[in-house]
Structure 1
């Protein structure tokens, strides 16, 4: 199996984040071809197909080109300090059970290898809220959290939303509320409300 040529040096960083994506393409073969195309200049460390087949495209000690512009916890260059996982999905359909099970197994291994905590598993939309929505509203974050593979709000005292979102790691901006909701309450609409403030404080 050939690896993607699209990677570089980690610039003195080590993985502390895992960024989850969907491919947004019709099938796994198309996604793999793009992630391995030197002209596309995009890549990810891992590609998980709908049947659970898991492919390593870039060694984890190398910097894959998956995150792009954005920041998390006040720091940019997310590529240098993260591992990227692409899930084959158009963005408009549920994530199949074999794919989710494969993701969970992979997350456990990566988190153990690099000592990454559940709060370090984030969505592409979390760190780039003004331009990305993946892995989207159909992704089951609560399922991961119940296994200690991500975080999920447990409720708390109502606190100012902007301060809570900043503590979680979100970059400030007009799209931040939408990104938070996309992950934790994708059915919500309208301006921020008490539920947003309580859930964010609980995180």
Structure 2
């Protein structure tokens, strides 16, 4: 009898487990998001003075007072990527897993659908080791946008239109300067090439997102023009100059990305850097 009861219990557990409603990955992600944001809110709401001691180990008097003049940090850059994955579903799954340690604020599919992955005021993990001008922590000051593309095919019209609409919203909402719409390859030369040589930077610049060379370049680079200084003034990390040159050419020349500046490339660089 005891054996029968044990078997019945095991059978009941199996049936219950099979019939139980399983959480979908999206629901698991949403639950995690809620828990994580709640923990961040708790940190923001803390109202205790920082405890410090001097060199002799004596506590320094401190008191929490508070101020009425503050707000949330706002993004000042937009960094554009391509996903280099097989589908939007794969990218969303990647951003829903802890192990890869990567994310972005938005993902845009080939059909133009926009997936908002993270609140704009929060810090996504999309830039990695990067630098632009004097900024070495791009994640803390930027919004990351991933485009469903492997970088070897043109971006779709629907995708580009959605991107331009999204950029217009971000620029208007956060007052982001025109110069601050850049690519992952710009901030991580030598490490990342995206959004690649096929990305329509010229079209974006015409809408006010980033800069582009003039339609007709009437003034050539002078004989004493210093390309390295120009690249640095634009924002590129020139510690690896050949990589910076390739990154510049992927963005502003888009014919080839060899680490050598031709006379034509120099004219383009001279024209572009004066806009910054």
TM over 0.5: yes
Give the 3-state SS of the residue equivalent to 2:107 in structure 1: strand
1:143 corresponds in structure 2 to 203
Measured after TM superposition, the shift of residue 197 of structure 1 is: 2.0
Alpha-carbon separation, structure 1, partners of 2:190 and 2:73: 25
Counting only pairs closer than 5 Å after superposition, residues 11-50 of structure 1 correspond to structure 2 as 14-50=74-110
TM-score by length of 2: 0.68
Alpha-carbon separation, structure 2, partners of 1:119 and 1:165: 14
Higher helix share: 2
TM-score by length of 1: 0.92
CA distance 1:36–1:190, shift in 2 (3 Å): closer
- What RMSD over aligned residues (CA atoms) do the two structures have, in Å? 2.1
Counting only pairs closer than 5 Å after superposition, residues 53-68 of structure 1 correspond to structure 2 as 53-68=113-128
Q: Is the 8 A contact 2:103 2:125 kept in 1?
A: yes
Higher strand share: 1
2:191 corresponds in structure 1 to 131
Alpha-carbon separation, structure 2, partners of 1:137 and 1:18: 18
Give yes or no for the alignment of 1:195 onto 2:261.
Answer: no
Measured after TM superposition, the shift of residue 167 of structure 1 is: 0.9
Q: Which has the larger radius of gyration?
A: 2
Q: Is the 8 A contact 2:253 2:268 kept in 1?
A: no
Structure 2: stretches of 5+ with no match in the other structure? 1-25, 44-71
CA distance 1:90–1:59, shift in 2 (3 Å): same
Measured after TM superposition, the shift of residue 157 of structure 1 is: 4.2
Give yes or no for the alignment of 1:185 onto 2:249.
Answer: no
Identify which of 167, 170, 176 aligns with 2:244.
Answer: 176
Give the number of the structure with larger relative contact order, counting CA–CA contacts within 8 Å between residues 6 or more apart. Answer: 1
Give the 3-state SS of the residue equivalent to 1:64 in structure 2: coil
Measured after TM superposition, the shift of residue 65 of structure 1 is: 0.2
Identify which of 155, 163, 168 aligns with 2:229.
Answer: 163
Q: Is the 8 A contact 2:113 2:162 kept in 1?
A: yes
Q: Is the 8 A contact 1:160 1:197 kept in 2?
A: no
Alpha-carbon separation, structure 1, partners of 2:205 and 2:131: 22
> Which whole-Å deviations, capped at 9, do the CAs of 1:107-145 have from their partners, x for residues lacking one?
000011111112100010000002000001111100111
Give yes or no for the alignment of 1:93 onto 2:159.
Answer: no
Measured after TM superposition, the shift of residue 13 of structure 1 is: 5.2
Measured after TM superposition, the shift of residue 74 of structure 1 is: 2.0
Q: Is the 8 A contact 1:50 1:98 kept in 2?
A: yes
